[in-house]
Every structure is written in C-alpha cells, then in structure tokens.
Amino acid sequence: MATETQGWVSPMRVRNVEESDIQQIKNIASTAFKLHRYWTDNSLDRKSVEDYYIAEIDNFKKELSENKDRFNIYVAEDGGQVLGYIVLRIDELLSSAFKQRWGIIASFALRSDSRGKGIGSILLAKALEWFREKGAERIDVSTDAENIAAIQCYEKYGFRTVYAGVTLTKVLEKRARL
C-alpha cells in the first residue's frame, strides 16, 4: 500500500522491526543525533560517540527480546531500506510510582535523506497507536532544545514541553594506577 507523505508517494510502510533491519538502524543511530550532548561535547572521541549509539541499539534489541509486552521498535521501510525507526517502552517504575501506565519514546531517528517528508509523523502516529493499545495514559519523550523539527513534530501530536534541563559535566583528573 502506498503512503503519501507531504506530496511524496512511495510504497513506504511502517512495521515491526526485524533482525535484518538492525544493521541499518545502527547506521542511522550512529550519525543521527548530531544535536545530542555526546556529539556536541568536543572532549569526547567521535568514534566512541558513534559506538555508543550502535551499542544502544544492541541494548534495545535485547530489551525487545526480553520484554515484548512492554517494548517495541517500529521501522519505516521502503523497498528494503530502513528510512527511520522509533523505540517505545512502557516504563514500569514510572507506571508504579505514579499509578498510571507511562510510555517512553526511548529513541527516534530518521535517515538524513528521509527528514522533512512526513515519515517521522507517520512513525509517531504508529507509536501513539501502540501506546494506546498498551493502555498508556502518559507518554514522555526527550529531545534537544536545538532540534526544532523534532519539537514541532511532537507538538503537532499534542506533546508539550514540561521541563527543559541542562546537562553539566565535570571531567575528573585521571589518577595514576598503583
């Protein structure tokens, strides 16, 4: 079935992640978060930052295999090419503490050539559908203050800013090993 996204028609579809998608997701994740604090912290090695995001995908994959009832990953795919992904979870600690099913969008990224085409909106709509099916009453997502496109996309779907924080870092002196 063709999907129309802002004048662009393609056979793109949103579906559950498959094992064969993982490498493409890692490729997207390793470069997608250029506004995130790890990319903007010049004291961090670029390769290590890329490796961090790749490892994060492995952690998501593991969590999905262990918690399918509370965790999901959707991909937007066109002709075997993953255009973007969204990682969803029901947070049990928040749900228990606040006595309401609490959803978290843990990660959400698009390939650079897939941005601005409505694909993110389609993925987000699918995510909201999943959260409703899981009985979520509240959904949180974090993004960087400079990521205006993401903020606008979330706001279009009813998300509102409730907190804008600052991350502070102190690099400790390395001690000689004994």
May I ask the CATH architecture of the domain 3-156? 3-Layer(aba) Sandwich (3.40)
* pLDDT-derived band at 141, boundaries 50, 70, 90: very high
Average pLDDT, the chain: 88
Whole-model pTM? 0.84
Q: Token pair of 131, please?
A: 């959260």
Which residues does 29 contact at the CB level (< 8 Å), separation at least 6?
A: 53, 54, 56, 57, 107, 109
3-state helix, strand, coil in the chain (%, to 5): 40, 25, 35
**Rounded CA gap, 115 and 65, in Å?**
29
**pLDDT at site 174:** 75
**Domain ranges within the chain, ordered by starting residue:** 3-156
Q: With 90 as the cut, is the pLDDT of residue 124 above it?
A: yes
**pLDDT at site 171:** 81
Residue 11: CB atoms within 10 A of its CB come to: 10
